Amino acid sequence: MRSFDLSPLFRSSVGYDGMARTLNNMTQEPAPSYPPYNIERLNEDGYRITMAIAGFGEDDLNIEVKENQLTISGKVVKDEDESKDRQYLHRGIAERAFERRFSLADHVKVTGADLENGLLHIDIVREVPEAKKPRTIPVNRSTRKLVDAKVA
């Protein structure tokens, strides 16, 4: 049972299209296992996605953010002259093309990506606008004097 009908939940709500699309995509797509990755929380508003992508260089990767969707794809561009000269006895490094998608929450921004020792690190920060942050309302001491009502 991999499909769910979520339409009754959204009949009386407005503006939750993104959530419906995310839930629908999560139930329909099989979870890819390549390349392996970690998601870690660095601090209250900072996150990092780390992907193991041995054999890929900076020119082989494409990282794109569009409509709260982070897409990381990779395809090794092989040099034909170099591949003709090599004879592998065992080939364990996959170097196969991949595409991995992550749904980003509102006010989440990708701040950078680094490739180091076969690991791709993507830094993500949640930047909530001042208008959306909770604020404290100070309670002032009243300067008005209460007037006693005379009962007749």
Would you say residue 9 has pLDDT above 90?
no
Q: What's the CATH code, domain 35-128?
A: 2.60.40.790
Of the chain, the end-to-end C-alpha distance in Å amounts to 76
pLDDT in tens, 67-117: 889 999 999 877 666 667 788 888 887 778 999 999 888 888 999 999 999
pLDDT score of 50: 95
- List, as own/partner pairs, every contact residues 110-116 make where C-beta atoms lie below 8 angstroms and the sequence separation is at least 24, other chains included: 110/63, 110/65, 110/70, 113/61, 113/63, 115/53, 115/56, 115/57, 115/58, 115/61
| Whole-number Å distance between alpha carbons of 139 and 66 | 43
Would you say residue 25 has pLDDT above 60?
yes
DSSP summary character for residue 7: H
pTM: 0.67
Q: List the chain domain ranges.
A: 1-31, 35-128
CA distances from 143 to 1, 58, 140, 146 (A): 66, 66, 9, 10
Average pLDDT, the chain: 80
